[in-house]
């Protein structure tokens, strides 16, 4: 099935045939993995991808392996027709890979880790802390599905968003460790122009009142950046700046971290390598994340 400017593939075989045909005429391929429910953050990744290669392929797949049994796999927004319409409106040649769960996990997959069987990819040393502290299953699921997707798509470039900064660190390590012949590019976080809330597919879960409070975390990150610009490098002061704003906004903070960009270990001071200032908070049953990079670029 294909629309005017977007070809849509559902099987591995279709993607491989497309990739071989494109390779044979010398086209390069940039890849944007997503879980769909596309917003302006995703579209920015696609626009950036289009500047890197001749063609862009976007995957849309809600990956069961990165959800725990108690998480929102069943309710995660699935909006394939609208996603395709948004991609069709972009001025690029785009392919979409929207596989079924059976196609991606031919021998089956369950969210119950104790019952999982088969082949998984784990990036030890970067997956256990921060997001991995609350979601111990998460990066194993992400690394596994992204390794599968890289293997299927065979891109020259893959683009990910800074909003999921730990994911970028984990996948950068995976690319190195498994010798994937591609360049991993990280795009800046796209925010609501009015209040700075990072765009996220899960923002649709927020009530009007929660949506109003949600930008408090980013206000905290901004005030920490201001302190850093004024010469403050101390962990407690930077983290307190975030905490104060978040508490003022009534957010239920899960963690705030100042970590090393190299190995994500917690640090006491921002040194010459810079730092990742990141965190997660809950609003009712919704969990959101955000971060800023201090003193370095990815």
Binding stretches for ligand ATP (CB under 6 A): 34-35, 41-42, 44-45, 160-161, 163-164, 187, 189-190, 198-202
Kindly tell me which of 63 and 116 has the beta carbon lying closer to ligand PAF. Answer: 63
Is residue 35 within 8 A of residue 60, CB to CB? The reply is yes
Output the smallest distance, CB 237 to ligand BAL, in A: 30
80 binds, among ligand PAF, ligand ATP, ligand BAL, none (CB under 5 to 8 A by kind): none
Query: How far is 127 from 138, CA to CA, in rounded Å?
Result: 8
According to the binding rule CB under 6 A, does residue 63 interact with ligand PAF?
Answer: yes
Exactly one of 6, 22, 30, 33 binds ligand PAF (CB under 6 A); which one?
Answer: 33
| Minimum CB distance to ligand ATP, residue 296 (Å) | 18
Q: Residue 83, interface with ligand BAL (CB under 6 A)?
A: no
CB nearer to ligand PAF: pick between 27 and 47: 47
Of 63, 56, 64, which is closest to residue 90 (Cα–Cα)?
56
Taking CB under 6 A as the rule, does residue 167 contact ligand PAF? Answer: yes
- On the CB side of 175, CA atoms within 13 Å amount to 20
CA 6 distance to own-chain centroid? 23
Q: Is 164 in the site for ligand BAL (CB under 6 A)?
A: yes
Question: Which pair of tokens denotes residue 42?
Answer: 């995703």
Residue nearest to ligand BAL (CB): 164
CB 198 within 8 A of CB 290: yes
**Residue from the set 5, 14, 16, 35 that interacts with ligand PAF by CB under 6 A:** 35
- How many residues line the site for ligand BAL (CB under 6 A)? 3
CA 47, 52, 53, 56 dihedral sign is negative
| Alpha-carbon span 255 to 130, nearest angstrom | 8
Measured from the CB atom, is 38 or 238 closer to ligand BAL?
38
User: Annotated catalytic sites, by residue?
Assistant: 42
Say which residues have a Cβ less than 8 Å from residue 3's Cβ, sequence separation at least 6. 84, 88
Question: For residues 244-274, b (16+ Cβ closer than 10 Å) or e, as one string?
Answer: ebbeebebebbebbbbbbeebeebeebeeeb
When asked if residue 145 is in the footprint of ligand PAF (CB under 6 A), the reply is: yes
Q: For the CA atoms of 77, 48, 95, 64, what is the dihedral angle to 10 degrees?
A: -30
The residue among 34 and 238 lying less far from ligand PAF, judged by its C-beta, is 34
Binding residue for ligand PAF, selected from 29, 64, 87, 164, defined by CB under 6 A: 164
Binder of residue 111, out of ligand ATP, ligand BAL, ligand PAF, none (CB less than 5 to 8 A by kind): none
Query: Is 22 near ligand BAL (CB under 6 A)?
Result: no
Spatial distance between the Cα atoms of 101 and 110, rounded to a whole number of angstroms: 10
Which of 210, 203, 162 lies closest to 77, judged by CA?
Answer: 203
Smallest gap from residue 135 Cβ to ligand BAL (A): 8
When the beta carbons of 33 and 99 are compared against ligand PAF, the nearer one is: 33
Query: Can you tell me the distance from the alpha carbon of 113 to that of 6, in angstroms, rounded to the nearest whole number?
Result: 36
φ/ψ (deg, to 5) at 29? -130, 125
**Where on the chain is the footprint of ligand PAF (CB under 6 A)?**
33-35, 63, 66, 142, 145-146, 164, 167
**Where on the chain is the footprint of ligand BAL (CB under 6 A)?**
35, 66, 164
């Amino acid at each position: 099935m294909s629309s005017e400017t977007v070809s849509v593939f559902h099987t591995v075989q279709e993607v491989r045939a497309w990739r071989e045909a494109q390779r044979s005429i010398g086209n390069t391929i940039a890849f944007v993995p997503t879980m769909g429910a596309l917003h302006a953050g995703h579209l920015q990744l696609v626009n950036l991808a289009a500047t890197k290669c001749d063609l862009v392929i976007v995957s849309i797949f809600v990956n069961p392996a990165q959800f725990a049994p108690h998480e929102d796999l069943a309710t995660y927004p699935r909006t394939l027709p609208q996603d395709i319409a948004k991609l069709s409106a972009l001025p690029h040649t785009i392919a979409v890979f929207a596989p079924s769960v059976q196609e991606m996990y031919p021998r089956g997959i369950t969210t119950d880790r104790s019952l999982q069987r088969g082949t998984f990819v784990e990036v030890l040393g970067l997956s256990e802390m921060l997001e991995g502290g609350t979601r111990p299953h998460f990066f194993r699921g992400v690394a596994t599905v992204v390794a599968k997707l890289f293997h299927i798509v065979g891109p020259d470039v893959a683009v990910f968003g800074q909003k999921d900064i730990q994911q970028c660190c984990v996948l950068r390590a995976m690319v190195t460790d498994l010798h994937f012949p591609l360049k991993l590019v990280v795009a800046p976080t796209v925010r609501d122009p009015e209040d700075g809330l990072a765009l996220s597919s899960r923002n649709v879960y927020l009530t009007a009142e929660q949506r109003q409070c949600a930008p408090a975390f980013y206000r905290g990150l901004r005030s920490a950046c201001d302190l850093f610009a004024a010469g403050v490098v101390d962990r407690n002061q930077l983290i307190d700046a975030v905490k104060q704003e978040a508490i003022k906004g009534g957010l239920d903070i899960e963690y705030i971290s100042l970590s090393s960009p190299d190995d994500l270990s917690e640090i006491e001071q921002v040194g010459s390598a810079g730092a990742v200032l990141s965190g997660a908070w809950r609003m009712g049953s919704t969990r959101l994340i955000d971060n800023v990079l201090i003193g370095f670029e990815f």
